Amino acid sequence: MTERRIRVLVVIEDDADYRRLIRMTLEGEDRLDVEGEAANAEEALVLARVTHPELVVLDHFIEGTVMGIQLAPLIKAEAPGAKILLFTTHALAIEVAREPAIDGYLRKHDLSRLLPTVRGLLNLEEPGLPTVVA
């Protein structure tokens, strides 16, 4: 039986090499499938409408005039079931707390915590850890 894969959308403006690093990090989890990448709000909304992601890794500083925190509720409107992780270089914890469309927040300098944070948002078990049955 094949395990269901979770659709992921990555919305990050940074150069292509950094987006590739994010993709490779996420695809290190067998259950994740990065189905689209966008650098601005317009691309992100089209991809959210088409791919119906279950997870969106969203940078705050993207191309154009719409910033990530502003884009989050628009993405939720296109993909209501998606979990949105704001993944940015800036300290925006207060702003993130004010936006109910954002489900998680991680600073980019914590790249090693990206996969554990995603697993937590999606309620995925850590691979290799025993499952406790009561």
Contacts of 87 (CB under 8 A, 6+ apart): 12, 22, 57, 58, 59, 105, 106, 107, 108, 114
Question: What is the Cα–Cα distance from 117 to 38, expressed in whole angstroms?
Answer: 21
CATH number of 6-121: 3.40.50.2300
> In this predicted model, what pLDDT tens digit does every residue of 86-129 receive, in sequence order?
999 999 999 999 999 999 999 998 889 999 999 999 998 655 54
> In this predicted model, what pLDDT tens digit does every residue of 37-78 receive, in sequence order?
999 999 999 999 999 999 999 999 999 999 999 999 999 999
Contacts of 131 (CB under 8 A, 6+ apart): 125
Q: Which amino acid is at 78?
A: E
- Confidence at residue 101, expressed as pLDDT on a 0 to 100 scale: 97
For 125, which DSSP code? P
- Confidence at residue 19, expressed as pLDDT on a 0 to 100 scale: 85
- The pTM of this model reads 0.88
Local confidence band at 4 (pLDDT 50, 70, 90 cut-offs): confident
Question: What is the Cα–Cα distance from 43 to 37, expressed in whole angstroms?
Answer: 8
Answer for the pair 48, 75: CB distance below 8 angstroms, yes or no. yes
- Confidence at residue 43, expressed as pLDDT on a 0 to 100 scale: 95
* Strands in the chain per DSSP E: 6-11, 32-38, 55-58, 83-88, 104-107
Local confidence band at 15 (pLDDT 50, 70, 90 cut-offs): confident
